[in-house]
Structure 1
Amino acid sequence: MFGLEALDLARIQFAFTISFHIIFPAITIGLASYLAVLEGLWLKTREEVYRDLYHFWSKIFAVNFGMGVVSGLVMAYQFGTNWSAFSDFAGAVTGPLLTYEVLTAFFLEAGFLGVMLFGWNRVGPGLHFFSTVMVAIGTLISTFWILASNSWMHTPQGFEIVDGRVIPVDWLAVVFNPSFPYRLAHMATAAFLATAFFVGASAAWHLLRGRDNPAIRKMLSMAMWMALLVAPVQAFIGDLHGLNTLKYQPAKIAAMEGHWDNSSGEPTPLILFGWPDMEAEQTRFKLEIPALGSLILTHSLDQQVPALKEFAPEDRPNSTLVFWTFRIMVALGLLMILTGLWSLWLRRSGGLFHSRPFLHLAVWMGPSGIVAILAGWFTTEVGRQPWVVHGLMRTADASSGHSLAQMSLTLALFVVVYFALFGAGLGYMMRLVRKGPVTDEGREVAHGGPGQPRTPSRPLSAAEDDEDGDHLQTERN
């Protein structure tokens, strides 16, 4: 297929499925915490706007959560189907870590999710809020274990190799491996930012169409506060993560920077733009700032950053790809910071909800968090190549050895099924977003409960919307 080998198709298939999957957990993490904040504010203030927003976003959360679970199951199966050699080699580490995720995070979420989605009128407000908080904590615990497993593949420690297999000897060292704290903070913060810009974009979209009410305003206001406060924090975390990567995976940093040669003895420049040529071993058409690369990556003006030519050709990541995915991530991060600063200026001048140029920017920034996560994930994972477990096992040795025809068929099926299934799911979720929160106090609301028309009969009932756009079980208190 297109001159690719079976191993290439296996890697593309994994990248394709994880690209779809990562969208849903990222939004789930952010929305779960957002819902906990909304319900907490509702209980504290009794302002109806928080309750209205909770019911609106809980529908979207339900759809997103369901798609995340389904796409996650596929990811787990691929370790056995396409990467069985890796599972045989490192399964004693990755298997238990994924099991811990199920036993702690997934069971916690499953235990309280039903109460959260369907218990608004069936349990007390304290118990319902506790359930929402538990679901939010469950999403963060899930992030903890998934990042622990993935980070160990980047910076493995706490193990011995016995008979060609990895055997854990220190679980604390395995879990809290050198890159884990930075990658956990970076990913969790990215999920919060992605959700904030998703929420902000939906509010801006409604405001541009003349739908101006307290709930829409509150959505935009909360989202922009999150952008203003958290985007700079994410930049700081990213800097720490970069220093850690420079220490443990210097070839990845060299590839991200498109930096090939240190023979001049000069501090490393920062290449803003260019085209790394892997065959010619140079970055073409580059626009660079002298010494700035050393300042950013080593916090000094006299140290050099490792160059790609210091590593054997077979040990170099694909600089052409990670050079640009890294810059996409950084550019979007800078735009997030600028958006937050612009929102602060407009807030002070009273124009946050009326500036059409800003509202248009907020709409366009809606998918920025997800795109930045995908770009960052590609940078991290492609930058680890050619290793599946850094320094221990090459990706070429990790696959199951399926034929080109088998991988071509399964990849084609994945593409068709994923675009059909998850495309429909995303379309339905965006339909819910377009409806917006209902705040009409004069509308008759269908209450839940035994024998009532809004009693859920299946999980996705949490996301049902009738012709009038009534809330799900929104009892007026």
Structure 2
Amino acid sequence: MDWLPDTYILSRMQFALTAIFHMLWPVLTTGMGIFLVLVEILWLRTRNPAYYYHARFWSKLYVLNFGIGVATGIPMEFQFGTNWAPFSEATGDFFGSILGFEASMAFMLEAGFLGIMLFGWERVNPYIHLFATIMVAFGANLSTFWILIANSWMQTPTGGEFENGKFIVRDYFQAMFNPFWRNSVIHMFMATLETSLFVIGGISAWYILKQRHSPFFAKSLKVCLATAIAVAPLQIYIGHLSAEQVYHYQPTKLAAMEAQWETTPAGQAADWSLVAWPNNKAEKNDWEINVPNALGYILEFKEKLSEPVQGLKDYPPEDRPHLVGLVYYAFRTMIGIGFFLAALMAVSTLQWLRGQLSEENIGQQRWLLLAWVGSAPLGYVAVETGWIVRCVGRQPWAVYGQIRTADAASNIPAGEVLTSFIGFMLLYTLLFGTTLYFGSRIIRRGPRLDLPLPNEDKPAIETGKTQHQPDRRPVEAQQ
């Protein structure tokens, strides 16, 4: 089987597949959890039934994403023991405990309150139900926190040192709160929230275009828009801060993000590559379009750089990313989507202020609604490309500057990895199709606007009946 790629390459391909697929689902649950908290608070404050029905409707999509996220997240983490055992052995005292915290604290918290959130509307006090929804959202975002703590440590390992190939923890909190952690956590939090807002807003726009429950979904679109007014521009700023950290801590990644082969010394201005075609073999860009003297303004808001921007050619080929083109264009895709979503938010806000999003006029804003529908998948693309930049740009290191990815892979037969890789592809294709089927089914059916409001059908509750449980006994027995 000489034609097979080696175990290391196959293990990377398998982990990339499982990570990219898994990430599709918690991205929505973490952001949508916050949206559910928001609409439930609005329901309790205003007693407007529309917000109650929103909470019931969107929670169906939430639980669908939660289930697929669990099913795909567990196999991904198991690979640290199967395909990446040397990495786990070297870093397990810290990295393993962080993943343990994520499972025992975050996932269990979310799962523990999920049943109350879904089925407790007429079984618990409304404020207890709100507390359960808050705990579900908090658990989902706490999971993101722990995952980003672990990954940030891989980017900037602190809090100990490697001795005889094993990480010895000297300061646990320093390892947790490493230089990358704060901006990474905030950037991912904003990414999940922004993605969810535009997914919910896009689905709402689709209903309005179809003239189905237009006043109802105009409310959810406006809630998403009002939240995006803060989230979209803030996400761009946090992204800039994250890029600054790469500038200071990971010069090879920055060079790949900008396809910069030659070093720009400190005190000089540097051009910014708007678009280029990197050539790894020739160690240059075959062609590029530059913005003169712009890189300093992007990195430091000034023309001349205070620190040098290292070029890829300053490093041996084995110490720098090889997939420069992938990192370069993934970075620009993420940035382009971020600015597009911010622009869509700005235009939508302007139309709102002009009164064009009222119940009478919103159906006439066809071009704007189509833009919202088209924006629904863009957040996913931005998140995935962002993680490509983060992880592929870190190569060839599993732990930056400490453990090479090639040394972190398990020594198992390539044929076995290929078998599991193909199995994951088939299984995830099935899961993806199944999820799309049930998700589209939920959307096609639409919201149940005839559900009884909690605790407002007292006579029916007292007689053991509800509005949707009519007395089906014979007429004589009823009399």
TM normalised by structure 2 equals: 0.90
Query: Which residue of structure 2 lines up, in the alignment, with residue 340 of structure 1?
Result: 345
Query: Which residue of structure 2 lines up, in the alignment, with residue 189 of structure 1?
Result: 190
Query: Which residue of structure 2 lines up, in the alignment, with residue 381 of structure 1?
Result: 391
Query: Which residue of structure 1 lines up, in the alignment, with residue 282 of structure 2?
Result: 280
Aligned AA (2:233): P
Distance of 1:403 and 1:321 partners within structure 2: 28
Aligned AA (1:226): T
| Matched-pair identity in % | 39
- Aligned-CA RMSD value: 2.4
Is the 2:191–2:235 Cα contact (8 Å) retained in structure 1?
yes
Distance of 1:111 and 1:438 partners within structure 2: 26
Distance of 2:265 and 2:141 partners within structure 1: 46
Distance of 1:450 and 1:166 partners within structure 2: 65
Closer, same or farther in 2 for the Cα pair 1:450/1:17, shift >3 Å? farther
Aligned AA (1:410): S
Distance of 1:203 and 1:52 partners within structure 2: 14
- Offset of residue 135 of structure 1: 0.9
Return the match for 1:312 from 298, 309, 316: 316
- Offset of residue 207 of structure 1: 1.1
* Secondary structure, aligned partner of 1:388: strand
Cα offsets for 1:187-233 (capped at 9, x unmatched): 00000000001001101111111224332101111122223321110
- Offset of residue 404 of structure 1: 2.4
Q: Which runs of 5+ in 1 are unaligned?
A: 456-477
- Offset of residue 319 of structure 1: 1.2
Distance of 2:14 and 2:462 partners within structure 1: 45
Is the 1:38–1:51 Cα contact (8 Å) retained in structure 2?
yes
Aligned AA (1:319): V
Query: Which residue of structure 2 lines up, in the alignment, with residue 469 of structure 1?
Result: none
* Secondary structure, aligned partner of 1:166: strand
Cα offsets for 1:102-126 (capped at 9, x unmatched): 2221221122111111111111101
Matches within 5 A, 1:287-298: 287-298=289-300
Matches within 5 A, 1:6-25: 6-25=7-26
- Offset of residue 6 of structure 1: 2.3
Distance of 1:161 and 1:289 partners within structure 2: 42
Aligned AA (2:271): P
Aligned AA (1:8): I
Is the 2:265–2:309 Cα contact (8 Å) retained in structure 1?
no
Larger radius of gyration: 2
Instruction: Note if 1:60 corresponds to 2:70.
Output: no
Paired residues, what number? 454
Aligned AA (1:388): A
Is the 1:227–1:339 Cα contact (8 Å) retained in structure 2?
no
Instruction: Note if 1:429 corresponds to 2:434.
Output: no
Matches within 5 A, 1:150-299: 150-262=151-263, 267-299=269-301
Distance of 2:380 and 2:51 partners within structure 1: 25
Cα offsets for 1:49-76 (capped at 9, x unmatched): 1001000011111111111111110111
- Offset of residue 294 of structure 1: 1.8
Matches within 5 A, 1:346-385: 346-352=351-357, 353=362, 354-385=364-395
Query: Which residue of structure 2 lines up, in the alignment, with residue 122 of structure 1?
Result: 123
Cα offsets for 1:303-345 (capped at 9, x unmatched): 2422111222111112111000000000000100110011011
Distance of 1:223 and 1:284 partners within structure 2: 43
Q: Which runs of 5+ in 2 are unaligned?
A: 469-479
TM normalised by structure 1 equals: 0.91
Distance of 1:400 and 1:454 partners within structure 2: 60
Instruction: Note if 1:417 corresponds to 2:441.
Output: no
* Secondary structure, aligned partner of 1:274: strand
Distance of 1:52 and 1:406 partners within structure 2: 49
Distance of 1:80 and 1:202 partners within structure 2: 39
